[in-house]
Amino acid sequence: MDMPVNPVWQQHLFLGSWQSGKGEQVDVMEPATGDVISQLKAATPADVDRAATIANEAQKQWIAVPFDQKAEILRKAATLLKERADEINGWNTRECGSIGPKADWELQATYEQAQMAAALPMQPSGEIFPSNMPGKRNYWKRVPIGTVGVIAPWNFPILLAMRSVFPALAMGNCVILKPDPKSSICGGVLMAQVLEDAGLPKGVFHVLPGGPEVGQALVEHSLVKMISFTGSTAVGKKIGETCGRMLKKAALELGGNNAQVVLEDANLDIASSCGAWGSFLHQGQICMQTGRHLVHCSVADEYIERLATRAGNLAYGNPAQEQVHLGPLINEVQAKRVEDIVNRSVEMGARIVVGGKRNGNYYEATVIADVTPDMPVFSEEVFGPIAPVMTFDSDESACALVNESPYGLAAAIHSGSTERALKIANRIQVGMVHINDQTVNNEFQVPFGGMGSSGNSGRFGGPANIEEFTTSQWVSVMEEGIQYPF
């Protein structure tokens, strides 16, 4: 798709309320080629203040919009996502290095999130509790938080933004979205256009592309009552500290170093397929990526052989120009980081079975054997197409290896006995466990979140969104007042 430089993007950054940012002109780069494919104006902290002020006023009207009208806007947004699939997917491919199937899947998952969110406004919003005082009624209900700040990453920029934006809007909040500078068009500007064209009132949703200073201003603004952040653990901890001081709600979905456990009774063909998908999908740039392959020593050689065969069959290249399995890593900095982690691990004794080479922003699908826990390829979140394999000899040692990581996002367990796998699942400290499947799982109706350094147990998905994007209020009613002793 030919997408030339388009300076009018800046007109959509602040959904009907802001026509020009005060920040610098930012080039939008294509990681596959290094070309500039568009430009936009970055936001500034002053723009955050203006957005928060406008949203604070707009929320008073938005909360009063009937539930069926909110739902209709979200359903219309879902329809527009499908109608504009070619444009959105084209930008996802060129801006983020996504291959076609990944872009298709992300858009479908975002569509499902919109449909799910459309059902939220009609759900019960509270309960009635009894009272020990005659004639008194106690109503406990969920109410909107106010303005929600959403800070989204570049790897799945549409889904990981809108899984917070859609339900937050559905529950009566206004939203300020700060997309990552590397994905501000597909993950921000195009979404603003969708919601605007779906009929969302002006001032309810704002898109502010920018760097860390914009994110910090959003987190620290007193009119922004909640932050939903998806990104690195290091940044998430800083956001959590700030929100804690301000008594501000924070939903933090952070990094992961997810393990796939392969027991000796597993179907190795299925396990290696799941392992390849979990490690190499989107060049491994996924928080739920299979970052550690823990394989029983009795089947490790066969598993490594099967996994290496799958990796060796994967081609990389420019997904906008050819059909490939792997696109580029997001930029040269990340590509060099992956290369460094692999090289340091090899120096410590790891063995590259297949792959292991970088070509610009591209990195080959790589399988590494003879891995030990002290190697960076095992202990760090690599965020690249790397599959490190380590062996174990008992269920106890497998559980210990999984729990050794400070991260606790996802895990997969492969076994011919689901009962045995469930026992292991009960012993590992992660937010999501998938038996005889891979670690990269997402279903819009199921609550999603991690433990430990992977997050603060905030949950996205299905009914969890009602609690996540609201606060509670107790209202008691007496038909006649009480005469107290004084």
DSSP-derived 3-state class of residue 294: strand
Show the tokens assigned to 137. Answer: 């009624």
Question: Which residue matches tokens 């009894």?
Answer: 130
A 10 A CB-CB count for 125 gives 17
How far are the Cα atoms of 207, 298, 434 from residue 416, in angstroms, in the given order? Answer: 48, 15, 14
Show the tokens assigned to 409. Answer: 């996002």
253 in catalytic set = yes
Measured N-to-C along each axis, helices 67-83 and 190-197 cross at an angle, to the nearest 10 degrees, of 130
Q: Are 174 and 205 in contact (CB under 8 A)?
A: yes
Residues pairing with 144 in the sheet: 470
From 287, 364, 381, 468, active-site residue: 287
A 10 A CB-CB count for 25 gives 11
From 253, 364, 381, 468, active-site residue: 253
Q: Are 184 and 193 in contact (CB under 8 A)?
A: no
Helices (H), ranges, 174-312 = 190-197, 212-220, 233-245, 268-280, 300-312
Rounded to a whole number of angstroms, the CA Rg of the chain reads: 24
How many whole angstroms separate alpha carbon 464 and alpha carbon 446? 8
Q: Are 267 and 437 in contact (CB under 8 A)?
A: no
95 in catalytic set = no
How many whole angstroms separate alpha carbon 425 and alpha carbon 433? 6
How many whole angstroms separate alpha carbon 289 and alpha carbon 255? 10
Among 305, 483, 301, 291, CA closest to 404: 291
Measured N-to-C along each axis, helices 190-197 and 159-170 cross at an angle, to the nearest 10 degrees, of 30
Long-range pairs, 17-21, Cβ under 8 A, ≥24 = 17/50, 17/51, 17/54, 17/202, 17/203, 17/206, 18/47, 18/50, 18/51, 18/206, 21/47, 21/208
User: What residues act catalytically?
Assistant: 253, 287
